[in-house]
Amino acid sequence: MSQPESAVAEAQGGGRAPESLAALAERHGLRRAIARPSMPAYLRQLWDRRHFILTYATSRNVSKYSESMLGQLWQVLTPLLNAAVYWLMFGVILGQSKSIHNYPAFLITGVMVFTFTQRTVISGAKSISSNLSLIRALHFPRASLPLAYTMQELQQLGYSMGVLLLLVLVTGEPITWLWLLVPVTLAMQTVFNIGLGLFMARVGAFMRDMNQLLPFITRTWLYASGVFYAIDDKTRELPDILRWVLEFNPAAAYIEFMRDLLIYQRFPERWAWVTCVFWAVFAVIVGFWYFWRAEERYGRG
């Protein structure tokens, strides 16, 4: 190599191979603008945004029915109208009300509890794809969005639970000390919904066809969750493994737990506690980890 060429090479790289941009940035302490933080750091960021999450959920609830004449009443009327249709089909036409104690309360409890999870799944799947402009404009932990959507559904459930308790009383069931466990049931289901909502948020963000499939998936889940019928009575002739799958279904577990407290006036059995706690813990751990793993990918493309 001639002397001028050697001088140029030395000036450009000091006689060494050119350094990559990534190595150069790391050597000078630079980091990616959008990078996945560690799990503890991510949890701290979410805690710091807790007021944003609650405010965003409340504002969505207020604006959702702002243009309708009945406004927030639709939060209660929608599940009640669904329950009325199901009561006509399954209670009257198919005769389920003849074999189930207090079928109106049985049905309404199932509809209210299942609707909470169903709506969380559907809204969670859209929480990222529906807020791309917000994600691209601001830096915040993306899990704030599916968490806010779950809190929104929990707020709506508050109205529905008030109506449910009133209807249970009207249909002849007494108030017992077991009603004190209703918030415990809702807490376990909410934790489960948070995990499932986070899981579906990532799926919905990268698999857009999921929004078209979800109505069919949730409808199948509805029919398999004992909302209209007692699983014990209708599955006696099924194989043991299929019966176990239906009974271990998380939606069915939370529904039966709530019915034990409100209708049957009995303390839930140990298997019911184990099932409900298991699904809550499993869903929130797996869902949160699965969502966090793709944190830096949301809003790209």
Residue among 249, 248, 247, 276 nearest 261 (CA)? 276
Alpha carbon 283 to its chain's center: 9
For residue 280, the number of C-alpha atoms closer than 13 Å in the C-beta half-sphere is: 16
pLDDT digits (tens, 9 = 90+) for 157-167: 888 888 889 88
pLDDT digits (tens, 9 = 90+) for 213-270: 998 999 999 989 988 888 887 777 778 788 888 889 999 999 999 999 999 999 999 9
pLDDT confidence of 96, banded at 50, 70, 90?
Answer: low
CB-based contacts of 133: which residues, under 8 Å, 6+ apart? none
62-66, 249-253, 284-288, 293-297: which has the minimum mean pLDDT? Answer: 62-66
Quick one: what percent of the chain has pLDDT higher than 90? 46
Give whichever of 73-77, 99-103, 243-247, 255-259 has the largest mean pLDDT: 255-259
Q: Is the pTM of this model over 0.95?
A: no
pLDDT confidence of 4, banded at 50, 70, 90?
Answer: very low
Q: Please report which residue ranges of 93-181 form alpha helices under DSSP H.
A: 103-126, 132-137, 144-170
pLDDT at position 255, please? 95
Q: Which pair of tokens denotes residue 30?
A: 């630079």
For the chain, the average pLDDT equals: 84
pLDDT at position 199, please? 96
44-58, 81-95, 115-129: which has the minimum mean pLDDT? Answer: 81-95
pLDDT at position 8, please? 42
28-32, 74-78, 187-191, 280-284: which has the minimum mean pLDDT? Answer: 28-32
